[in-house]
Every structure is written in structure tokens, then in C-alpha cells.
Amino acid sequence: MNAPLTRWQAGDGAAPRHVAVIMDGNGRWAKKRGLPRTFGHSSGARQVRALVEHCADLGISHVTLFAFSSENWKRPADEVSSLMSLFVLYLEKEIRDMNLNGVRLKVIGDASRFDARLQKLIADAQSQTAGNTRITLTVAANYGGRWDMLEAVRRWQAAHPQRPVSELSEADIATYLSMADAPDPDLLIRTGGESRVSNFLLWQLAYAELYFTDVLWPDFSVQELDKALAWYADKDRRFGAVTQSVAS
């Protein structure tokens, strides 16, 4: 097994500042073992800490994890409620160590649908970790990219009731999106074998490199993360322009 990457080792490539992850495949991981789907979710949740730590060690400043989509309410009620309990447990258990490790926690998504206890835990966790600067961990919960864009436009309009929508710019929308204070993701990782974005950060992923792997989320180790980062390091990010070598 290769030793994990230490500081960013990317040849000439710039380090990703922001890595976003669609953590998919928990249910299939459990099914393969004859276990209920919820075992997959709890095993998946246990992976998070080591991966965030590894990103922080590499100098990646933002990690964003898709934990629950605005469409995941369509799942059976017992699965939804065990995902909510897991989120509560995660917040209760991890905040102390996040503070020790310099992790700032942010939660994006429509929290209004969560019960009062979870809403309070989210608010407390964010305020208790707000001063940490080593890495920002954003958890997307009841999040949808379309919801985010619609909210941004609505919030812009509420803040500028006199301005006609013809004056609304891309920069205005970006200011009101839920990830407004983060750079756009450089790298999106999706585990679990599907090659789709499933309504994650639609606006912000415009120029992300998209890495899809069959590895199921509970099996996504630090070594697997290093593979994704090595793949990213080889990319020629043109942003619509031409690189020097192509131009000449």
C-alpha cells in the first residue's frame, strides 16, 4: 500500500482548495454484507473524520460533503429518521474534536424541515467552531442545488426590493448562494459508481473536475482519496481558455 500523501504532491498542478464529495453507496455496502442500510450509513459517517484530517494535512482549505439531499425525504421513514439520528449523534460527538483540530463546521441546506433539537445542535455547532481556521468542513443536509439558486435570487430580491431583475448579475447570485464564502469546488468526488451530480452544488460545480469511482463510501479510505487527488493533479484546467502548450 502506498504511503499517504503528506503535503500537496502534485507536480506542477495547483493544490485543490476545495474538494466536494457525494458520499454514495452506503446502502449497497450494507446490503453486500447482509446488514440493514443504516449500518452502511453509520460506517460511512465513521470515515469522515480521517478524510477531513487528511485534507487539512494536505493544505486543502475546504471540504464539502453531501450528507442528505432535498430528494432523500422520498426514502422510507425509518431510513430518514435513522439518518437524522446519525446526524444528531455526529454533531454531539465530533464538535469537541473539531475544536481541538481547528475544523470550522458549516451546514448548508434548508434546516427548517429538521426538528427543533437538530436545528439547535446545528446552530450551536456552527457558532462553537466559527473561530477555527485550519479547514472548513461544510455538510450539505436537506440541500439541493436548485433550491440554493432559487433561494439566492429570492434573497437578492428581498435585499434590493427597488432593483429590477434585469440588474441581477452572476456575481449577485454568487453572493447569496449558501457557499458564498468558499471558493468553488476544484474537485468533485462521487463514490458508489454513479456518474451524476444528483442536484448537488449545481452553480458552484461549473468548472470542477469530476471524479467518479465505484468504491462504496464506507470503503473510501485515505488511500482512495489520494488516488482522486493524484488524478486531479494531472488535469489541465483551461476554464474555456487555451493553455500555453495548446496555443503555441
By annotation, the residues acting in catalysis are 24, 72
Q: Which residues contact 52 (CB under 8 A, 6 or more apart)?
A: 63, 103, 135, 137
Distance CA 192, CA 123 (A): 31
Residue span 16-45 as binding mask against Mg ion, x where in contact by CB under 5 A, dash where not: --------x---------------------
Residues 188-247 binding ligand IPE (CB under 6 A) are 192, 194, 196, 198
Q: Which does 69 bind (CB under 5 to 8 A by kind): ligand IPE, Mg ion, none?
A: ligand IPE
The residue type of 106 is: K
User: Using CB under 6 A, which residues numbered 56 to 85 contact ligand IPE?
Assistant: 66-69, 72, 83
**Side chain identity, residue 182:** A
Residue number, 112 or 195, with CB nearest to ligand IPE: 195
Residue 26 touches ligand IPE, criterion: CB under 6 A? yes
Radius of gyration of the chain (CA): 19
Please give, one letter per residue, the 3-state secondary structure of 222-248.
HHHHHHHHHHHHCCCCCCCCCCHHHHC
Give the nearest distance from C-beta 27 to Mg ion in angstroms.
6
124 binds, among ligand IPE, Mg ion, none (CB under 5 to 8 A by kind): none
Nearer to ligand IPE, 83 or 179 (CB): 83
Least distance between ligand IPE and beta carbon 85 (Å):
13
Q: Which does 67 bind (CB under 5 to 8 A by kind): ligand IPE, Mg ion, none?
A: ligand IPE
Pick one of 19, 20, 22, 179: the residue that binds ligand IPE (CB under 6 A): 22
49-55, Cβ contacts within 8 angstroms, sequence gap of 24 or more: 49/94, 49/97, 50/221, 50/222, 51/21, 51/220, 51/222, 51/225, 52/103, 52/135, 52/137, 53/101, 54/4, 54/5, 54/222, 54/225, 55/19, 55/135, 55/225
13 or 36: CB nearest ligand IPE: 36
Q: Which residues bind ligand IPE (CB under 6 A)?
A: 22-28, 66-69, 72, 83, 192, 194, 196, 198
